[in-house]
Amino acid sequence: MDGFAPRIDAPAAHAAQWHERRRPAVRIRRVREHDAPLIGEFIRGLSPASRQRRFHSAIRDLPPQWLERMVRPDPAYELALVAVVSSAGRDVCVAEARYVASDDVPDGREFALAVADGWQGRGIGKTLLLSLGAHAARHGVPRLVGDVLRDNLPMIELARGLGYAVHGHPGDRRLVRAWRAFAGAGPGCWAPGFGGDGFI
């Protein structure tokens, strides 16, 4: 999950580079108030397993009040991002990530992310989690905490690879808790191969 455009050795390099040029460009930006249909379509397009990993339930469609909450993060305490590609003149969401204020994490923020099934393994999740961490560090958030299903090995591996500690969840044996403390300015936000809108 570490590289959007991994290094490729000859003789397959030319074919792989041509494939990379054909891949739609991914842009990461803040969630906007009119993004409810965009995010709703993204959630419905996830496989049941991916929805289970994101919401810890078998939900398919988000209730309108949930979507409304997702597109209106409190800018003083929260950050919500989407990764989008342009298709037929409109944005299509391929990933979303956020950190939010939570009673479960009084000394930090709770994070969550999801990547569309067809876009997993390309480094998008890593870029989003780096972006959340960089923003948290720059805005004085002491730590980010994420609750992850025990069988969500790609997310656990990603978190550990970015310096998150992973321990058993204190109240739910189905979950593990990933967390990382932040102090001072965070790491650079954008991984090579991605564009953004300078939200930091």
Give per-residue pLDDT as tens, 151-171: 999 999 999 999 999 999 988
Lowest model confidence (mean pLDDT) among 29-38, 108-117, 188-197: 188-197
Per-chain mean pLDDT for the chain = 83
Which helix (H) or strand (E) element contains residue 111?
Answer: strand 109-115
- Asked if residues 1 and 119 have their Cβ atoms less than 8 Å apart, the reply is no
**Beta strands across the sheet bearing 143-149:** 165-168, 175-181, 143-149, 109-115, 90-100, 79-87, 27-30, 195-196
**Domains detected in the chain:** 13-196 (3.40.630.30)
pLDDT class for 23, splitting at 50, 70, 90? Answer: low
pTM value? 0.81
**Stretch 2-18: mean pLDDT, rounded?**
37
Instruction: Encode pLDDT of 42-69 as tens digits.
Output: 999 999 999 999 999 878 888 899 999 9
